[in-house]
Structure formats: structure tokens, C-alpha cells
């Protein structure tokens, strides 16, 4: 079966320059950075952004982020960028977010409208018995910019939910990287419940907060905005990136033998074409397959309570030693260490 080509790639020019890129430009300009230096290498000029007609590719946006990081050279840059991101001024999708009735609806909108609201990182919602977990997938090969984007994305969601809920929510943030020297910025912008060297980058909250009503929401205005944003997505022609679509396919078929050739066929392209497209995104097939397996393994441990043997069997590992070695490569932890960590989280 051939899937419809309904994704964007690293070089797809669809991100309005006066949306998320302008938020970063404004932050940098407010700190005295010259606009020409900010846009160097992107193929754009400040006048292009001001025209309201410029469309950036993810690659150009990542170039802008790289320039901003180097020129600002400040520990709080990603967090201040994140504070300004959501609900944002991105047309009907932002209006729909602003009128969300509760956190559950806001997360559904953020996921459904991710091409408009979060084009570089794809947010995903996962529920277990007691908590809601939001994690982000690299949509276009963020590379060295991924930590910046994760810090910004988590800050954006924490800040938006606090504003719309009218109270500070008890988020817990987990990051896979080691604790940085600027840990105070995490505490200021995300709260003090922050963990580092975790198996996965994730933002978690007790499920009871999902359905608490948010004051000021208009059901009618929100419904109309969601309809308008759906039309906006239809005109765009896609809802997600190639990497996002690939992740979904791998996850759906994770119990099957997955090879580059078969997956390429499912996506209506030759193996060499898929390989070339992944290289364009600074990735390769095994990396994407390992990511899907890692997330499925964590889900089976955390949500389903599977044993090591059950997880290994589910993922089609017939050698326990090979599974333990692979799992440690994916997460930096042995399965036994992960169980101890999960027990500590409750």
C-alpha cells in the first residue's frame, strides 16, 4: 500500500517569516543584535520578514536559530523565546489555542496543528494511569539546535498553560542531557521539578489537570477557529513532517521485521530515495528505527508494566543480551536501572 505524500521536509518553504521566526528576530533585535548578522546564511533579509510574504524552510529557520544562539550568547535565550511562542500570532491555530476549554483540548490542538504551531518539533501526548506526558520529536533534523528547541518548547507549553489556566500547574520536566551550568534558568521558567540525564525528554503532569476548566474560553469562538485552522492546514497540503510520518509508521509496525526496503515501498519511493531523504535530515534508517523502539520500550515499561523478557519479545529480540545492549545504547541505562528510576518517579 502506498501512502499519500502529505509531509514536509527540511527544505520545504512553508513557515511564514512573520510567525515563529519573527518571535526570535524580535528577541534578538531587542538585545541590540544587527538584523543582517541574524539572517546571514538564511538567504533572507529583514525586509523580507517585514513584508509578511516570506516563507522559510525548516533549514532556514534552523540557520536563524543557530545565528541567534551564537550572537545572543545568553543562557536564557531559549527560555525567553519559548515564553513568546504560544499561543502566538499564527492565525486561526493560535486563536483556537487561546480559546481552549482545558489542557486536554489545548494539547489536542497543539498536536493536530503542529505544522502551524510547532513546525520544527512535533509534540506527542501519551497517557498512563496517573499522568499525561508530552514529548517532542525532531521534525526536520534539528541537530545542534535540538536542546534549544526543547527548552523553548517546554517553556512555551508551561507558560501558555499557566496563563490560560490562571494558575501555575505542577509540571515535571525531564531532559536526556546532563545538568547544565545554567540550571537556574530551568527552575525559573519550568519550576523546580526538573530532572536531567533522563531516558527521554518529556513534560509530565497529573491527569487530573487535563480537564480542569480554563476561565475565559469561548466554546463558539474556539470551534470556529479550529474549523478555520483545519482549512488552513488543508490549503498547506500537509500536517506533519516526513520524519514524523516515518516515526508513526515504524511505531505502528514495530512488531514486524522492519527493513529500509519495505518501509520505502510503503512510502511510495525507492530505498535509495528514502535513504537520501533521511541523509538530508541528518539521519538514517537505523536511527529512526531505534528511536521508535526506544519509545515503545519505555511505554511498555512505564504504562504496561512489562518485564524485561516481555519487552524484548514484543520488540522481536530473541536474545536477551542483545536487547539489554540495545536498550542501553538507546537510553544510556540498563533495563534494571530504568526500573529503579521509574519506581522512584512513582
Residue after which a domain boundary falls, among 218, 239, 260: 239
What's the confidence (pLDDT) of residue 341?
A: 65
Q: Are residues 64 and 180 in the same domain?
A: no
Q: Are residues 22 and 140 in the same domain?
A: no
Q: Average the pLDDT over 119-136 and give the result.
A: 95
Given a cut of 90, whether residue 344 has pLDDT beyond it is: no
Q: Are residues 79 and 69 in the same domain?
A: no
In degrees and rounded to multiples of 5, residue 134 shows phi and psi of -115, 125
In tens, the pLDDT along 194-228 reads 999 988 899 999 999 999 999 999 999 999 999 99
Q: Are residues 287 and 159 in the same domain?
A: no
What's the confidence (pLDDT) of residue 15?
A: 98
Q: 130 in a domain, yes or no?
A: yes
In tens, the pLDDT along 68-84 reads 999 999 999 999 999 99
Gap between the Cα atoms of 94 and 88, Å rounded: 6
Instruction: State which residues form the domain around 334.
Output: 241-344
For strand 172-174 and strand 202-206, is the pairing parallel, antiparallel, or unpaired?
antiparallel
In tens, the pLDDT along 49-70 reads 999 999 999 999 999 999 999 9
Q: Average the pLDDT over 294-318 and give the result.
A: 91
Looking at residue 263, which CATH number applies to its domain?
A: 1.10.10.60
Residue after which a domain boundary falls, among 210, 239, 268: 239
Q: Are residues 43 and 99 in the same domain?
A: no
Q: Average the pLDDT over 6-19 and give the result.
A: 96
Residue after which a domain boundary falls, among 187, 210, 239: 239
Q: Are residues 85 and 63 in the same domain?
A: no
Contact residues for 164 (Cβ-Cβ < 8 A; gap 6+): 87, 98, 100, 106, 214, 216, 217
Q: Are residues 64 and 125 in the same domain?
A: no
Q: Average the pLDDT over 188-197 and give the result.
A: 95
What's the confidence (pLDDT) of residue 333?
A: 84
Dump strand ranges (E) for 178-246. 194-195, 202-206, 240-241
Q: 127 in a domain, yes or no?
A: yes
Q: How many beta carbons lie within 10 A of that of residue 18, not counting itself?
A: 18
Q: Are residues 152 and 188 in the same domain?
A: yes
Q: Is the peptide bond before 224 cis (omega within 30 degrees of 0)?
A: no
Q: 2 in a domain, yes or no?
A: no
What's the confidence (pLDDT) of residue 131?
A: 95
pTM of the model: 0.94
Q: How many structural domains are present in the chain?
A: 3
Q: Are residues 230 and 112 in the same domain?
A: yes
Q: Are residues 169 and 249 in the same domain?
A: no
In tens, the pLDDT along 319-337 reads 888 999 999 999 888 887 8
Q: 4 in a domain, yes or no?
A: no
What's the confidence (pLDDT) of residue 2?
A: 42
Q: 3 in a domain, yes or no?
A: no
Q: Are residues 42 and 121 in the same domain?
A: no
Where residue 3 falls among pLDDT bands split at 50, 70, 90?
very low
Given a cut of 60, whether residue 305 has pLDDT beyond it is: yes
Q: Are residues 132 and 227 in the same domain?
A: yes
- Which DSSP state fits 143? G
> What does R_g of the chain's alpha carbons equal in angstroms?
20
Mean pLDDT value across the chain: 94
Given a cut of 50, whether residue 1 has pLDDT beyond it is: no
Amino acid at each position: 500500500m502506498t501512502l499519500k505524500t502529505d509531509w514536509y521536509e527540511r527544505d520545504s518553504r512553508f513557515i511564514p517569516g512573520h510567525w515563529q521566526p519573527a518571535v526570535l528576530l524580535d528577541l534578538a533585535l531587542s538585545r541590540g543584535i544587527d538584523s543582517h548578522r541574524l539572517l546571514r546564511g538564511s538567504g533572507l533579509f529583514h525586509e523580507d520578514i517585514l513584508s509578511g510574504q516570506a516563507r522559510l524552510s525548516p533549514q532556514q529557520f534552523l540557520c536563524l536559530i543557530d545565528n541567534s544562539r551564537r550572537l545572543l550568547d545568553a543562557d536564557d535565550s531559549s527560555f525567553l523565546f519559548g515564553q513568546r511562542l504560544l499561543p502566538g500570532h499564527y492565525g486561526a491555530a493560535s486563536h483556537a489555542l487561546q480559546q481552549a476549554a482545558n489542557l486536554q483540548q489545548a494539547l489536542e490542538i497543539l498536536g493536530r496543528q503542529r505544522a502551524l504551531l510547532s513546525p520544527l518539533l512535533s509534540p506527542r501526548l501519551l497517557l498512563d494511569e496517573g499522568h499525561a506526558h508530552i514529548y517532542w520529536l525532531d521534525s526536520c533534523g534539528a541537530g545542534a539546535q535540538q536542546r534549544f528547541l526543547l527548552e523553548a518548547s517546554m517553556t512555551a507549553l508551561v507558560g501558555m498553560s499557566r496563563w490560560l489556566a490562571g494558575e501555575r500547574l505542577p509540571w515535571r520536566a525531564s531532559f536526556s542531557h546532563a545538568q547544565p551550568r545554567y540550571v537556574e534558568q530551568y527552575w525559573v521558567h519550568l519550576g523546580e521539578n526538573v530532572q536531567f540525564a533522563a531516558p527521554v525528554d518529556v513534560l509530565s503532569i497529573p491527569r487530573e489537570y487535563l480537564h480542569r476548566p480554563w476561565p475565559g474560553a469561548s466554546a463558539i469562538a474556539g470551534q470556529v477557529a479550529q474549523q478555520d485552522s483545519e482549512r488552513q492546514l488543508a490549503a498547506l497540503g500537509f500536517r506533519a513532517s516526513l520524519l514524523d510520518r516515518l516515526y508513526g509508521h515504524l511505531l505502528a509496525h514495530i512488531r514486524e521485521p522492519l527493513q529500509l526496503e519495505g518501509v520505502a515501498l510503503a512510502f511510495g519511493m525507492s530505498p535509495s530515495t528514502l535513504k537520501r531523504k533521511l541523509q538530508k535530515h541528518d539521519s538514517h534508517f537505523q536511527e529512526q528505527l531505534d528511536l521508535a523502539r526506544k519509545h515503545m520500550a519505555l511505554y511498555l515499561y512505564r504504562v504496561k508494566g512489562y518485564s524485561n523478557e516481555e519487552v524484548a519479545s514484543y520488540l522481536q529480540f530473541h536474545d536477551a543480551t542483545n536487547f539489554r545492549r540495545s536498550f542501553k545504547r538507546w537510553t544510556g541505562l540498563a533495563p534494571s536501572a530504568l526500573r529503579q528510576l521509574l519506581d522512584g518517579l512513582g
